[in-house]
Amino acid sequence: MDPLIRSKVLMVVKIPRKLVKWWKIFSLLEQHELMEKLGTLTSLLDITPRPDLVEEMLTYWDPQNMVFRFGECEMTPTLSEMSGLTRLSYIGKNMIISRDHSRTRFLSDLCLKDNKHLGCLKQSWISLDYLFARFGPHDSFDVFWDEFCTTKAKWQRCRLETFNLALLGILVFPLDERHICIRLQSVVMALFHEKQRKVVTIVPMILIELFRSLSEVRGGVRFLKGATFCYNCGWSTYTPFPDFAPSTLPCGIEWYALSVG
């Protein structure tokens, strides 16, 4: 099913079934390992996005000052709050930066043989369907054995990294039409390789993407990246009115309270 809604703003409004199915295929131990890398980002699989509330939220975004304005009240997402929301640390760590990946390097990182017929890689994306077919079901290695350049044991490890790539590419840093940006592979490699993982963090990258996405849409771009994540945030971390009933708040704050309730 098309994950985009054709309204004023295009956004991801349905969590792809294959992504949810993929998560459920993993053992509890594997899920725990993924949660150590992704924090609460894995909980995005369980939410039901509300595009109407996301669109309403956009009307309060001030792109020049990077704040939400609710009447005289201003709310600014911060690194500390994003860290608390995702349960991923950032203090004393370097920001991960996504980098370009050639076709051969990207496929090599996934333990796949070079494939010149994957024209999508020239446009720096790969599909969820392609990744799920080769790294989702337990028998994927046996089905596509001639496409891999690794052992089944190493493929098992690669499944976790590839799911990480898919989740980030679909729900946190999305392109349209279930296209996953292959630049995110550099982020995955940093998260999964022990020497780098101890000194890097994805938190600033998420916050930057959030700011950029909101400002781009306010500037006329129709596709809102990270909309699912926007709604999941709920901005409950930022509200200065936790004890107020919605009816007592200004118009903007009333919507805000309703959206997180």
* Higher pLDDT, residue 41 or 219: 41
Question: How far apart (Å, rounded) are the C-alpha atoms in residues 11 and 6?
Answer: 8
Q: Is residue 1 part of a domain?
A: no
Q: Is residue 97 part of a domain?
A: yes
pLDDT for position 3: 45
Q: Is residue 12 part of a domain?
A: no
Mean pLDDT, residues 133-158: 96
Mean pLDDT, residues 163-169: 96
Q: Is residue 137 part of a domain?
A: yes
Q: Is residue 208 part of a domain?
A: yes
* Higher pLDDT, residue 175 or 95: 95
257, pLDDT greater than 90: no
pLDDT for position 27: 96
Tell me the residue length of the chain.
261
Query: Helix, strand or coil for residue 169?
Result: helix
pLDDT for position 238: 43
Q: Which residue has the tokens 């295009």?
A: 10
Q: pLDDT above 90 covers what percent of the chain?
A: 38
Q: Is residue 60 part of a domain?
A: yes
What beta strand segments (E) does 83-194 contain? 94-95, 125-127, 179-181
Residue span of the structural domain in which 251 resides: 17-260
Q: Which residue has the tokens 């349209």?
A: 176
223, pLDDT greater than 70: no
In the chain, the amino acid numbered 41 is L
Q: Is residue 235 part of a domain?
A: yes
* pLDDT tier, 156 (very low <50, low <70, confident <90, very high otherwise): very high
193, pLDDT greater than 90: no
As for how many domains the chain has, the answer is 1
Q: Give tens-digit pLDDT for 76-126.
A: 888 888 888 889 999 989 898 888 888 899 999 999 999 888 889 988 999
Closest CA to 171 of 10, 45, 18: 45
Q: What integer best gives the mean pLDDT of the chain?
A: 79
Q: Is residue 5 part of a domain?
A: no
pLDDT for position 28: 96
